[in-house]
Amino acid sequence: MSEHVNVEQDGGLVAITLARPERRNAITVAMYAALADAIENASADRAVRAITIRGDGQDFAAGNDLADFLQAAPRLDEELPVWRLLRILATCETPIIAAVHGNCVGIGTTMLLHCDLVVADDTARFSMPFVDLALVPEAASSLLFPRMAGRRRAARYLLLCEPFGADEAMAIGLVSHRAEPGQLGQKLDEVVAALLAKPPEALRKTQALLRRGARDEILERMKLESSLFAERLQSAEVKEAITAFFEKRKPSFTA
């Protein structure tokens, strides 16, 4: 397990916290592996009836730790822990509830597509700057966001990389519950308590029914996205985009 992913179990609840606040919970390869293990283990444990995911500090997750990710950049035929995490999120058999605040960048937004419920406060800010980094979307977001928000609005998020706030996230259905300022933890506790009071087997079967219809299509889209993502990592555009990011300058792209 990564030192930056805390996992606690209390009865039927497994609480997962991204615990790298000094880097705004930017996710490393080790953190992806730890998250995948934690969710997979919780889903396999029939005593676990709910999983929560939160971020420590001022943000939920600032996306990939780019420096760490590039050190482990995959070959075209190579698996990465992030792809395993996304598949596990998409196939988890236990309800997942995320509580988000502050910045939710890249996978900090797209992982929410695979949570069953999402609680957000008014500080939450969502963005998916994949194209700005000369990359392509992941987590089947290229499939799910057009269905959720409509093609035109999805194009704003994924082509123009426009950020959006909690009100818009609630309107399109990315967020299921709003928390009052300073009450994110309390609202999460209320949602979890309501779930834990339900008949556990009925809850599992209903969650499975909600996910079943689109699961194969989602996994297929994830496979396509990850292949294109790996190809993009070898491109001159990505090299320029990420170099510019670290040099804090505007990238220069040529056709």
What single DSSP character describes residue 248? T
Cα(113)–Cα(52) distance, integer angstroms? 14
Domain-embedded: residue 193: no
Burial 7-37 (b: 16+ CB within 10 A, else e): beeeebbbbbbbbbeeebbbbbbbbbbbbbb
Query: What domain count does the chain have?
Result: 1
| pLDDT given for residue 68 in this prediction | 84
pLDDT confidence of 67, banded at 50, 70, 90?
confident
The answer to whether residue 72 scores a pLDDT higher than 70 is no
- Average pLDDT of the segment spanning 62-68: 89
- What percent of the chain clears pLDDT 90, i.e. is strictly above it? 85
Domain-embedded: residue 85: yes
Domain-embedded: residue 125: yes
The answer to whether residue 112 scores a pLDDT higher than 60 is yes
What single DSSP character describes residue 159? T
Q: Rounded to two decimals, what is the model's pTM?
A: 0.94
Task: Give per-residue pLDDT as tens, 22-44.
Answer: 999 999 999 999 999 999 999 99
The answer to whether residue 90 scores a pLDDT higher than 90 is yes
The answer to whether residue 151 scores a pLDDT higher than 70 is yes
What is the domain-level CATH number for residue 171? 3.90.226.10
The answer to whether residue 47 scores a pLDDT higher than 70 is yes
- Average pLDDT of the segment spanning 54-71: 91
| pLDDT given for residue 184 in this prediction | 98
Domain-embedded: residue 106: yes
pLDDT confidence of 73, banded at 50, 70, 90?
low
| pLDDT given for residue 74 in this prediction | 56
The answer to whether residue 3 scores a pLDDT higher than 60 is yes
Three-class secondary structure of residue 9 per DSSP: strand
- Contact (Cβ atoms closer than 8 angstroms) between residue 129 and residue 86: no
Domain-embedded: residue 40: yes
Domain-embedded: residue 53: yes
The answer to whether residue 246 scores a pLDDT higher than 70 is yes
| pLDDT given for residue 233 in this prediction | 87
- Average pLDDT of the segment spanning 224-248: 91
Task: Give per-residue pLDDT as tens, 197-221.
Answer: 999 999 999 999 998 888 999 999 9
Q: What domain range includes position 14? A: 5-179
| pLDDT given for residue 152 in this prediction | 97
Lowest mean pLDDT among 2-6, 35-39, 99-103: 2-6
Cα angle, residue 232 at apex, residues 226 and 236 outer, rounded to 5°: 170
The closest alpha carbon to 52, from 85, 100, 87, 3, belongs to: 100
